[in-house]
Amino acid sequence: MSGPSTYNPKSGFEKWIDARLPLPRLMHDTMQTFPTPRNLNIWYTFGGILTFCLMVQIVTGIVLAMHYVANAGLAFDSVEKIMRDVNYGWLMRFVHANGASMFFLAVYIHMFRGLYYGSYKAPREMIWILGVLIYLLMMATAFFGYVLPWGQMSFWGATVITNLFSAIPVVGGHIATWLWGDFAVGDATLNRFFSLHYLLPFIIAGVVGLHIWALHVPGNNNPLGIDVNSPQDTVPFHPYYTVKDAFYLCLFVILFAGFVFYAPDFFGNPDNYQPANPLVTPPDIVPEWYLLPFYAMLRSVPDKLMGVIVMGGAIVTLFLIPWLDTSPVRSCRFRPLMKQFFWGLVVVCVVLGYCGAQSVDAVKFGIPMVWVARIASLYYYGFFWVIMPLVGWFETPKPLPASIAQSVLGDSAAAAAE
Amino acid sequence: MGAVGVAMVAWPLIDQMNPSAAALALASTEIDIAAIQPGQQIVFKWRGQPLFVRRRTPAEIASANAVDVSTLPDPLARNAGKSASAPATDADRVVKPEWLVLVGVCTHLGCTPTVSTPAMPEGDFGGWLCHCHGSMYDTSGRIRKGPAPQNLAVPPYAFLSDTRIKVG
């Protein structure tokens, strides 16, 4: 996609195509010869894994849509029909439902990877911004999808999330009504959510295309966070990284299959096996695990509008990271202070997730969980808005290696390769 | 000119998501409340939403009247049958003090709050507790503690007889 193309069409047919639609050239340059830093580790395989996850969700989703009925009176039963009557329907649904969790597991690893190795810094800001956009689209898609089985948690999750918009001053109530198409979540809501749930994955696929395009302009960052200087620093994408990605994808699929076949309801909520009842709210409304940290932030603020702002701000903040980090050094390998704060953030996100799963007045180990969530939310914001800018100014980074080749191969081997 | 054209084309695409005239037609429901015992609440359905009808005990009415309105988080009655600026006194929240009729939708994020009874208390104020995010309402359905910004709404309703009300 960038740099001089090395594609050399051989047959007459290839030349004919290349002169009219150079798609083989594009594939050759991006997936075969693309120069990739030679030191990428396991954490760099999740981009490929995520592409796989998106494809699995789209394929199983199209199949499920052939049997699902988006009607408040029929939706729950149609899902049960998929589980009991449709040939392999249970497999399609469990792959789709667990696939969402696997997708988020992979995306969180992918995001923390980017954060640790400073992959959001110049010249890769656009890759990061597009990535956060994909993450946002994923959350919307997952939310719409969770509503479709029309169980108790589907219905009340939809109620709570759409009511978030009613916190907006003046027009909030109108926006909520507009989203519902009624006075409350109901049949009209379910139908439009199904429409959007079918649409958004294809939007995601489009933004993924942009994400990869933006990636192929500067090329991959790497665990050292230093630029590629010479051809010795890189290896061709194929076969080196196609094989590496495929190997770790296999391990990932084993984990995926483990959930699908041995614990298919591990991530599910038993309340969602009850049909939606607009008159009874389940005692504890819990979102899917991947949204829990944000849910904990929402609940930690005892004011409706402020709670929504704190939760939304946590995601908006992610877009601004490229400009909040002031350090010229990318990788945390050479940032002794930032490395510790980074792991602090990982712990805080897990703690927030734990708090989000507890009931609102829970007390664990003698500590009210709402206060734990408050302190954790403070660290989350503090990390991005205070620690990131300040540490960049005050930290003394460790010396950077001269080149990727020297770091990987040692001085003499790098010299011999010259 | 072009912008006006775009806006005119966009509006039907946006407005189609709003409730249709059929959904907007003010549905009204007649409810028989004869069977409700003092201290009991029964939940009905109105406009697809839960409707609380609670027959209050003298003690519950007294505790609702004992509150100083100026100390409430939301000082407005939120009663469709009163003016928008009516204060949140208990008298402005009811038609007959014994009967409290409310839209059972938490004003925070729309969950259905759980009713409090002396045998099974919910929240600190004897009214309702919303389990979703911990909003507590008193025996007049007024918000007292937690993230909800407003008192539980009082729908438009009238007594057709001593044991029958018409809501909507």
Judge whether residue B33 has pLDDT over 70: yes
Q: Does B6 touch chain A (CB under 8 A)?
A: no
Query: Model-level pTM?
Result: 0.90
CA-closest candidate to residue B162, choices B105, B112, B98, B119? B98
CB contact under 8 A, B23 and A283: no
- Among A382-391, A393-402, B73-82, name the one with the lowest average pLDDT: B73-82
Q: Does A280 touch chain B (CB under 8 A)?
A: yes
pLDDT for position A299: 87
Q: Which residue of B lies nearest to A296 if distances are taken between CA atoms? A: B133
CB contact under 8 A, B112 and A281: yes
CB contact under 8 A, A304 and B148: yes
Judge whether residue B10 has pLDDT over 70: yes
- Among A123-127, A323-327, B71-75, name the one with the lowest average pLDDT: B71-75
Q: At B25, is the pLDDT very low, low, confident or very high (cuts 50, 70, 90)?
A: confident
* Contacting residues of A for B149, CB less than 8 Å apart: 303-305
Judge whether residue B26 has pLDDT over 70: no
CB contact under 8 A, A361 and B134: yes
Q: Is the dihedral of CA B94, B98, B103, B106 positive or negative?
A: positive
Our CA-based measurement puts residue A310 at a distance from the nearest CA of chain B, in whole angstroms, of 13
Q: Does B146 touch chain A (CB under 8 A)?
A: yes
Query: What is the pLDDT averaged over residues A218-238?
Result: 94
Q: Which of A155, A178, A180, A183 to mutate to test the interface with B (most CBs of B within 10 A)?
A: A183
CB contact under 8 A, A183 and B19: yes
Catalytic site residue B131? Answer: no
Pairs across A and B, CB distance < 8 A: 92
pLDDT for position A416: 62
Judge whether residue A318 has pLDDT over 80: yes
Instruction: Indicate whether this complex's ipTM tops 0.95.
Output: no
Place domain B27-167 in its CATH homologous superfamily.
Answer: Rieske [2Fe-2S] iron-sulphur domain (2.102.10.10)
Q: Does A183 touch chain B (CB under 8 A)?
A: yes
Q: For residue B110, is it left (φ>0), alpha (ψ between -120 and 50) or beta? A: left
pLDDT for position A418: 54
* Contacting residues of B for A182, CB less than 8 Å apart: 19, 23, 48
Enumerate the domain spans of chain B: 27-167
Q: Are A156 and A282 contacting, i.e. CB atoms less than 8 angstroms apart?
A: yes
Q: Which two tokens stand for residue B67?
A: 């509150």
Q: Does B123 touch chain A (CB under 8 A)?
A: no
CB contact under 8 A, A163 and B108: yes
pLDDT for position A1: 43
Catalytic residue among B45, B96, B133, B166: B133
> Quick one: angle between helices A304-324 and A125-147, nearest 10?
150
- The Cα–Cα gap between B43 and A375 comes to 39
Higher pLDDT, A343 or B66: A343
Query: What is the pLDDT averaged over residues B20-43?
Result: 85
- The Cα–Cα gap between A246 and A48 comes to 8
pLDDT for position B67: 87
Domains along chain A with CATH numbers: 36-411 (1.20.810.10)
**Which span out of A180-194, A247-261, A356-370 was modeled with the highest average pLDDT?**
A247-261
Q: Which two tokens stand for residue B59?
A: 């003690």
CB contact under 8 A, A188 and B23: yes
SS (H, E, C) chain A: CCCCCCCCCCCHHHHHHHHHCCHHHHHHHHHCCCEEECCCCHHHHHHHHHHHHHHHHHHHHHHHHCCCCCCCCCHHHHHHHHHHCCCCHHHHHHHHHHHHHHHHHHHHHHHHHHHHCCCCCCCCHHHHHHHHHHHHHHHHHHHHHHHCCCEHHHHHHHHHHHHHHHHCCCCHHHHHHHHHCCCCCCHHHHHHHHHHHHHHHHHHHHHHHHHHHHHCCCCCCCCCCCCCCCHHHEEEHHHHHHHHHHHHHHHHHHHHHHHHHHCCCCCCCHHHHCECCCCCCCCCCCCCHHHHHHHHHHHHCCCHHHHHHHHHHHHHHHHHHHHHCCCCCCCHHHCHHHHHHHHHHHHHHHHHHHHHHCCCCCEECCEEHHHHHHHHHHHHHHHHHHHHHHHHHHCCCCCCCCCHHHHHHCHHHHHHHC
pLDDT for position A304: 84
Facing residue for A281 by CB, picked from B45, B107, B111: B111
CB contact under 8 A, A180 and B19: yes
> Before A123, cis peptide (omega within 30)?
yes
* Contacting residues of B for A184, CB less than 8 Å apart: 47-49, 105, 110
pLDDT for position A417: 58
* Contacting residues of A for B17, CB less than 8 Å apart: 178-179, 181, 192
pLDDT for position B88: 87
The mean predicted confidence, pLDDT, of chain A is: 93
Facing residue for A178 by CB, picked from B18, B20, B112: B18
CB contact under 8 A, B131 and A279: no
Q: Does A242 touch chain B (CB under 8 A)?
A: no
* Contacting residues of A for B131, CB less than 8 Å apart: 281, 283-285, 359-360
Facing residue for A304 by CB, picked from B14, B111, B149: B149
SS (H, E, C) chain B: CHHHHHHHHHHHHHHCCCCCHHHHCCCCEEEECCCCCCCCEEEEEECCEEEEEEECCHHHHHHHHCCCHHHCCCCECCECCCCCCCECCHHHHCCCCCEEEEECCCCCCCCCCEECCCCCCCCCCEEEECCCCCCEEECCCCEEECCCCCCCCECCEEEEECCEEEEC
Contacts of A207 (CB under 8 A, 6+ apart): A130, A133, A134, A137
Q: Which two tokens stand for residue A231?
A: 């051809």
Q: Does B131 touch chain A (CB under 8 A)?
A: yes
pLDDT for position B131: 86
Strand partners, B50: B45
Judge whether residue A2 has pLDDT over 70: no
pLDDT for position B139: 92
pLDDT for position A167: 86
Portion of chain A with pLDDT greater than 90, in percent = 81
Q: What is the pLDDT of residues B120-145, one digit of tens each?
A: 888 889 899 998 888 999 999 999 99
Q: Which two tokens stand for residue A410?
A: 């040692």
Q: Which of A279, A284, A374 to mutate to test the interface with B (most CBs of B within 10 A)?
A: A279
Q: At A409, is the pLDDT very low, low, confident or very high (cuts 50, 70, 90)?
A: confident
Higher pLDDT, A21 or A414: A21
* Contacting residues of B for A281, CB less than 8 Å apart: 111-114, 130-132
Judge whether residue A112 has pLDDT over 60: yes
CB contact under 8 A, B23 and A281: no
Q: What is the pLDDT of residues A177-202, one digit of tens each?
A: 899 998 889 999 999 999 999 999 99
